[in-house]
Amino acid sequence: MAHSERHEELVAALALGMPLGADRAELEAHLAEGCAVCESLLVDMREASTALGASAPAVTPPPELRRRILASLGPSRSEGAPAPRASAAAPRGFAGRVLAAAAALLLAVAVLDDAKLRREREDLRSRTADLAGRLRTTETELAQRVLRARVLESEDVQMMMLGGQGPQPGARARVFWSPTARRGVLVASNLSQLPPDKQYELWVFHEGKPVNAGVFDPDAQGRAMFESTDFTQPVAQNFAVTVEPRGGVPAPTGPIVLVGKPA
């Protein structure tokens, strides 16, 4: 039997000693199935109800209450006939029980409202996380479209194939670049995951000298789509990718994992 707010209301009534009638069988069956929420709520409310009943202060009824009760009994009582003596502790005990029951009822309402608010907060967190994930996906797709519009759709776009080298012979990549825009896009696959302190760094060769074109990280499947920084020279003679310290270095120091030549 699936948990619902109705079960929490029945738990509150049970803890306060209220008759449940036909609903008792439903609640007992629900508790027998092992509902952790209702079991915990029942324990908390019983403890709170007991504590409130034990700590309720004794209350002395006002004199006006006695006069009103005597008046309701008729002229013989209101004119001074002796009334049955009652222990002073009885009204006080009754008033205390009334106050304790009222306080327990207020506590039950507060506990139920708090449980409802907790569920609403959890639901809101879940929806927020889902929306954040969708936003990241949308931002990634938008960034890829911007890359294609900026470089891949240029009239003078060129392409170079890069093959795996050294420790990663299975790596593959293509570099698309525009001499006019002086920017390029690297699309790679089969790249290995690197330690946290390492990154892949793209190099553009001009007149035999490597120029830093930026660092990037592949995704969990070893794929990467990376837009380079501005090329210092419009003519690119070759490209290479090396493994370098995170953040990049001015000149290559690590192993070459991808290298190519203009087609």
CATH number at residue 253: 2.60.40
- Of the pLDDT bands very low, low, confident and very high (cuts 50, 70, 90), residue 20 is confident
Q: Choose from 58-67, 187-196, 254-263 the range with maximum mean pLDDT.
A: 187-196
Q: Does the residue 144 lie in any domain?
A: no
Q: Are residue 162 and residue 208 in the same domain, yes or no?
A: yes
Same-domain status, 177 and 227: yes
Residue 51: which domain range?
Answer: 5-132
User: Which of 126, 140, 127 is closest to 225 using CA atoms?
Assistant: 140
Which three-class secondary structure state does DSSP give residue 184? strand
Which pLDDT belongs to residue 163?
A: 93
Q: Report the range of poorest mean pLDDT among 20-34, 166-180, 194-208.
A: 20-34
| Judgement on whether residues 74 and 170 belong to the same structural domain of the protein | no
Measure the CA–CA gap between 139 and 145, rounded to whole angstroms. 10
CB 178 within 8 A of CB 149: no
| Better pLDDT: 124 or 205 | 205
In a domain, 35, yes or no: yes
Per-residue model confidence (pLDDT) at position 87: 47
**Spacing of C-alpha 94 from chain mean position:** 48
Integer Cα distance of 261 and 246 in angstroms: 26
Does 81 reside within a domain? yes
Among 54, 58, 55, 53, CA closest to 93: 58
Higher pLDDT: 157 or 135? It is: 157
Q: Are 124 and 167 in a shared domain?
A: no
Does residue 49 share a domain with residue 116? Answer: yes
Q: Is 103 within the bounds of a domain?
A: yes
Q: Which of the two residues, 25 and 70, has the higher pLDDT score?
A: 25
Stronger pLDDT, 138 or 144, i.e. the higher one: 138
The answer to whether residue 47 is domain-embedded is: yes
Task: Decide: 224 and 201 in contact? Cβ < 8 Å.
Answer: no
pLDDT of residue 229: 67
Name the most confidently modeled range: 11-15, 29-33, 44-48. 29-33
**In-domain check, residue 148:** no
Q: Are residues 31 and 114 in the same domain?
A: yes
167 shares a domain with 64: no
Residue 153 resides in a domain: no
Residue 29: burial class (beta carbons within 10 Å; 0-12, 13-18, 19+)? exposed
The listed range with the strongest mean pLDDT (47-56, 66-75, 245-254) is 245-254
Residues 180 and 228 in one domain: yes
Helices 36-55, 89-147: crossing angle, 10 deg rounding: 140
User: What pLDDT, on a 0 to 100 scale, did the predictor assign at position 61?
Assistant: 62
Q: End of a domain among 97, 132, 167?
A: 132
Contact 241, 164 (CB under 8 A): no
Q: Which of 83-87, 163-167, 192-196 has the lowest mean pLDDT?
A: 83-87
Tell me what the pLDDT averaged over the chain comes to: 75
* Tokens found for residue 243: 């493994």
Has residue 89 got a pLDDT over 70?
no
Q: How many domains does the chain have?
A: 2
Asked if residue 28 is part of any domain, the answer here is yes
State the distance between the two ends of the chain, measured CA to CA, in whole angstroms: 68
